[in-house]
Structure 1
Amino acid sequence: MSQNYTSLAVFLMGAIALVIPSGYTYGAALLLLGSFSLLYSRPALHLQQEDKQIMAVLALYSLLFCVQLWLEGAGASAFDRPSRFIFAVPVLLFVLAYPPRLAFLWSGLVVGGVLTAGWAIWQKLFLGIERATGYTYVIQFGNISMLMGIFCLAGLGWAAVQPRARGWMALLLLGALAGMLGSLLSGSRGGWIGLPVVFWMLYRAYGREIKRSSRIMVLALLFSGAGLVYSVPQTGVQARVQQAFTDIQLYTSGESKNTSLGARFDMWHGAVLLSMEKPLTGWGWSGYQQGMQALADKGVVIQFAAEHHAHNEMLDTQARRGILGLLSLLALYLVPLRLFTLRLQARDLELRALAQAGALLPVAFMDFGISQVFFGHNSGVMVYAFWLAVLWGCMRTRERQLEEKTGMGDR
C-alpha cells in the first residue's frame, strides 16, 4: 500500500508539474504528508554516510538561510522558500522506506513532457502568446520542461533492460523531445547553454552501450532537429537567438542597456560590486535592494537592475548572504553531483539511469542559475529539493537490492 502511495506521488511530480497551477507541489506534498507515517511505522532505513551527507546539505542550506533571515529581521514570508529544503529530508527517508516503482517515475516524466509540450504548442500557435509560459514564470516553465526532457534521456538506461525495452525507449525519447520542445517554445535561452555538457554526460554514461552507427544517427537527428526548429519562424527560436546577439552588441557599444541581456549584465555588474563591499556577511535580503538602488542613483547600473534580483544564482547569493551563503549553495550543488557521479559507470543500467538523472539535476540547475535566480521561485525550490530526495532514495534502494542479490555493491 505504501509503495503504491509513493509511486502515485512520484508519478504526479513529473506528470502535472507544469500543466496545472502549482502542479510541481502536489506530488511533493503527498510525499511529505506520507513521511509522517514514519513516526509510528519506524521502518529499518539502514542509513549510510552518503545518505546523511545528502540530508546534511539540504538541512544546512535551509537552516543557515533561515538563521540569516532571522538575524536580519526579515518578514515571515521570506522564510517560505528556504524552509522547503529541509522538508525534503523526511521525504528522502520516506522514499528510502517505501520506494516507488520506477516505471511510475519514468512514465510520469514522459507524460509530463508530452503534456507540457502540448500546452506550449497551444499557447504559442493557437493562443498567439509570444513565449509559452504555462502557469508559472516563462523562464521557470522553459527550464523545468527542459529538465524533464533531460531526465527522460537519462532513463534510457533503465528502459533498455525492461521486458518491453523498445516500447519504453520510444516513450522516453518522445518525452525527451517533448520536454526540449516545451523549452524551445518558451524562448528561455538560459537552459540551452548547458546542453553540450548534458549531452557529454549522457554520452559518458551510455556511449559504450551504443553502436557507432547508432551514435552517428542520434547526432544526425539532434542536429537536423535543432536546425528544423531554428529555421521555422513560428517557434520563435531564431528570433530569440538573433535578439541575444543584438542585445550584446547594444550593450558593448554603450548604445543601450535596456535590453533583456543588457539588463542582466548590469544586474551581474551591480551584484559583483556589492559582493566586493561586503564579501563576508553580504547585504541581507532587503539590504541588497538598497545597495543596488544606491548604484542606480549613481548611474552605475540602470534602474531596472535595482528593482530585481541579480538573475544569477551564485552572484545573488554571494551579494545577499555572503561567503557562508555561497558555500552552502555550492554544497547543495556539488555534494549530490559528486555522490551521484560515483555511480555513473555502474554495471547495472537501472542504477546507472538513476545516477545519471541525479547527476544531471545539479548540473542543469547550475546552468539555469547562470541567467536566473531559480531558488527565488517556488517552482525552482520544489523541483530541486524534492527530485533530489526522490532520485537519491530510488538510487540507494536499487543499490540495496543489488547488494542483497550479490552480497556486494555495484559501483
Structure 2
Amino acid sequence: MAAVAIGAYFIFHVLTPWAYEFGPVLLLLLTFLSLGFQWKQVGQLVDGESLCFLGALGFYFISQVLILIVHGEDISEFDLSFRYLAAGLVLLFLLVNPISAAQIFLFVGVGGLFTGAYSIYLAAFQDAGRVQSFDNPIHFGNGALALSCLCLAGLAWAVSERRGVLWTGLLGVGFAGGLIASLLSGTRSSWVAFPVLVLLVFLAYRDRLLSKKWLLPSFFVAVVLLPVSLASVDLVEQRIQAAAKEFTAYFEEGVNYSSVGTRLDMYKAGLTAFRKNPLIGVGPAGTDAVVGELVQAGEIHSNVGLFRHLHNQYIDNMARYGLVGLVAYLALLIVPFVLFMKKTRSGTPSVKSLGLGGALFVSLHGVANLTQSLLERNVGVMMFVFAMVFIWAVLKREERLANGATAPVMSKA
C-alpha cells in the first residue's frame, strides 16, 4: 500500500489534482493504523540524521502555529501548517515500512515519461501556448523539472543495476520528458536553478569526473550546450526577453502592471509589512491589510491585491512570520539539503543517487521560491514536503541494507 501511495504521487505528480493528495492521505491513514504497534521499531530506526530531518519539519510547524495564534488568525490559516506535522508522522511510518530505490526510480521515470508525453501532446495537437495541467503552468513546470532532476540523479544508480540498459533507458526518457515539459510550460522560476543544479551534479561526481580525462571535458561541453540549446527554443527565448524588458521598464518607466512589475510591487509590500514587526511579522491578515493600504495610497499596483501570496517565499515568510518564520523556512531547506548532500559521498550507488536527487529537489525548490511562494498553497506544500520525506525514507532503507541489514524492516512489524 505504501508503494501504491508513493507510486501514484510521483507518476501523476503534475498531471491530476488527486495524485499529490491521495498518496500522502493514504500514508497518513496507514500511519495512524500501524504506528501504535511499531513504536519499538520506530525507536530503533530514527537515528540522529532522521531526528534532524524531523526537527526541521517540527520547527516549521511549531513556529507557524504559535505565530498564527499570537496574531489571532482564522482557523483556516492553520491548515497548511499541520501538513508539516503530517509529513513528520508519515516519515516515521516509512522508516519502518519503506519501499525500495528500484521502486521510487521506477515511479519517477514513468512520471517523467508521462509528463513529457502529455506536454508534447498539448503543444503539438492542442496548440497550447504555455503547457499546464490541472493547475497553473508554474506548478506544472516546477513539478516536471523536479521529476527530471530525480531521473537524472538515478542514472548513476541505473548503470550499476543488473538490467542497467533498461533502467538507463527509462530514467533517460523520464529526464528528457520532465525537461521538455518544463520548457513547454514557460516557467522561468525553475530555469534560474539550472546553474545550481549543474554545480551539485559536479560536486557529487567530481572524483569520477576528475579521474578520467575524457569525462571532465565532456561534462563541461554538455554544460555549455544545454543553455545554448534551451535559449534556441522560441518559447524560452521569448520568456527570457520579456522578463528582461519588464524588469527594465519597472525601474526606468515605473511600469508595474506586468508580470515582473507586479512581483516587484509585491516584494515592496512584503518588506513594508516586515518592517512593522520584524520578529514575528504581521500575520496573513496583517499582510493583506498592508497590501490594501499601499494599493489605496497608489504606492503599488492594484493587481497585487488579487493574489493570495507575494510570489517570494522568503519575503512572504518575513511579512507573515517575521525573522522567526524566515529562519524556520531556511532550516526547512538547509537541514535536508545538508543531509542529502552528505549522502552523495556514499559508496553505495542507490544511496548516492537518492542523496543527489534529494539535494537537487531541495535546491530547485529554494531557487524557484525566489519568485514564487509555493508553500502558501496546498499543492505547493504537498508537492514539496512529502517528496522530501519519501526520498529520505527510501535513502535510509538503502543505507541500512548496505550496512548489513539482510531483511526488510517491515517483516519485523
Q: Does the pair score TM above 0.5?
A: yes
Q: Where does residue 297 of structure 2 map in the other structure? A: 298
Q: Where does residue 409 of structure 2 map in the other structure? A: none
**Deviation of residue 42 (structure 1)?**
4.2
Which of 9, 32, 40 lines up with 2:5 in the alignment? 9
Does the 8 Å contact 2:108/2:147 carry over to 1?
yes
Does the 8 Å contact 1:74/1:285 carry over to 2?
yes
Residue deviations 1:186-223 (CA, integer Å, cap 9, x gap): 11100010111111101211243354435544554565
Match of 1:44, as an amino acid?
Q
Does the 8 Å contact 1:10/1:104 carry over to 2?
no
Q: Where does residue 190 of structure 1 map in the other structure? A: 189
Residue deviations 1:228-269 (CA, integer Å, cap 9, x gap): 454343xx2221111111111211212511111111111112
Q: Partners in 2 of 1:175 and 1:239 — Cα distance?
A: 26
Specify whether residues 191 and 172 from structure 1 end up closer, same or farther in structure 2 by C-alpha distance, changes over 3 A only: same
Does the 8 Å contact 2:110/2:170 carry over to 1?
no
Q: Where does residue 361 of structure 1 map in the other structure? A: 361
Which of 14, 37, 40 lines up with 1:40 in the alignment? 37
Does the 8 Å contact 1:63/1:83 carry over to 2?
no
Q: Partners in 1 of 2:175 and 2:219 — Cα distance?
A: 13
Residue deviations 1:95-142 (CA, integer Å, cap 9, x gap): 111110221101111111111122222233322232111111221111
Does the 8 Å contact 2:2/2:98 carry over to 1?
yes
Which of 3, 11, 15 lines up with 1:19 in the alignment? 15
Q: Partners in 2 of 1:324 and 1:126 — Cα distance?
A: 49
Does the 8 Å contact 2:159/2:165 carry over to 1?
yes
- Which moves more between the two structures, 168-177 or 39-48? 39-48
Q: Partners in 2 of 1:327 and 1:77 — Cα distance?
A: 23
Alignment of 1:342-357 (within 5 A): 342-357=342-357
Residue deviations 1:131-183 (CA, integer Å, cap 9, x gap): 11111122111111111101111112221221112321222121111111111
**Deviation of residue 41 (structure 1)?**
4.3
Residue deviations 1:1-28 (CA, integer Å, cap 9, x gap): xxxx222222222101111223222222
Q: Partners in 1 of 2:92 and 2:213 — Cα distance?
A: 41
Residue deviations 1:300-348 (CA, integer Å, cap 9, x gap): 2222224322110010100111111111111111111122222221111
Q: TM-score, normalised by structure 1?
A: 0.91
Q: Partners in 2 of 1:303 and 1:124 — Cα distance?
A: 33
Does the 8 Å contact 1:13/1:24 carry over to 2?
yes
SS in 1 for 2:16: coil
SS in 2 for 1:155: helix
Counting aligned pairs with the same residue, the percent is 28
Q: Where does residue 409 of structure 1 map in the other structure? A: none
- Please list every run of 5 or more consecutive structure 2 residues that lacks an aligned counterpart in the other structure: 407-413
> Is 2:161 the partner of 1:162?
yes
Q: Where does residue 214 of structure 2 map in the other structure? A: 213
Alignment of 1:201-240 (within 5 A): 201-210=200-209, 211-217=212-218, 219-220=220-221, 223-224=224-225, 226-233=227-234, 236-240=235-239
SS in 2 for 1:167: helix
Residue deviations 1:35-58 (CA, integer Å, cap 9, x gap): 221223445131212211211211
Q: Partners in 2 of 1:194 and 1:227 — Cα distance?
A: 15
Does the 8 Å contact 2:101/2:395 carry over to 1?
no
Residue deviations 1:53-80 (CA, integer Å, cap 9, x gap): 2112112212321232233332332222
User: RMSD over aligned Cα, in angstroms?
Assistant: 2.0
Q: Partners in 2 of 1:196 and 1:376 — Cα distance?
A: 26
Q: Partners in 2 of 1:172 and 1:333 — Cα distance?
A: 26
> Is 2:310 the partner of 1:310?
yes
Does the 8 Å contact 2:41/2:96 carry over to 1?
yes
**Deviation of residue 405 (structure 1)?**
6.4
Alignment of 1:3-402 (within 5 A): 5-36=1-32, 37-42=34-39, 44-45=41-42, 46=44, 47-210=46-209, 211-217=212-218, 219-220=220-221, 223-224=224-225, 226-233=227-234, 236-308=235-307, 309-402=309-402
Q: Partners in 2 of 1:160 and 1:113 — Cα distance?
A: 19
Residue deviations 1:358-381 (CA, integer Å, cap 9, x gap): 222221111111000010122221
Q: Partners in 2 of 1:145 and 1:378 — Cα distance?
A: 17
Does the 8 Å contact 1:264/1:310 carry over to 2?
yes
Specify whether residues 165 and 219 from structure 1 end up closer, same or farther in structure 2 by C-alpha distance, changes over 3 A only: farther
Match of 1:328, as an amino acid?
A
Q: Partners in 2 of 1:229 and 1:372 — Cα distance?
A: 22
Q: Partners in 2 of 1:24 and 1:218 — Cα distance?
A: 34
Q: Partners in 1 of 2:216 and 2:184 — Cα distance?
A: 27
Q: Partners in 2 of 1:42 and 1:287 — Cα distance?
A: 42
Match of 1:35, as an amino acid?
T
Q: Partners in 1 of 2:187 and 2:110 — Cα distance?
A: 21
Q: Partners in 2 of 1:170 and 1:204 — Cα distance?
A: 24
Match of 1:322, as an amino acid?
G
Match of 1:197, as an amino acid?
V
Q: TM-score, normalised by structure 2?
A: 0.91
SS in 2 for 1:347: coil
Q: Partners in 2 of 1:302 and 1:7 — Cα distance?
A: 47
Match of 2:331, as an amino acid?
A
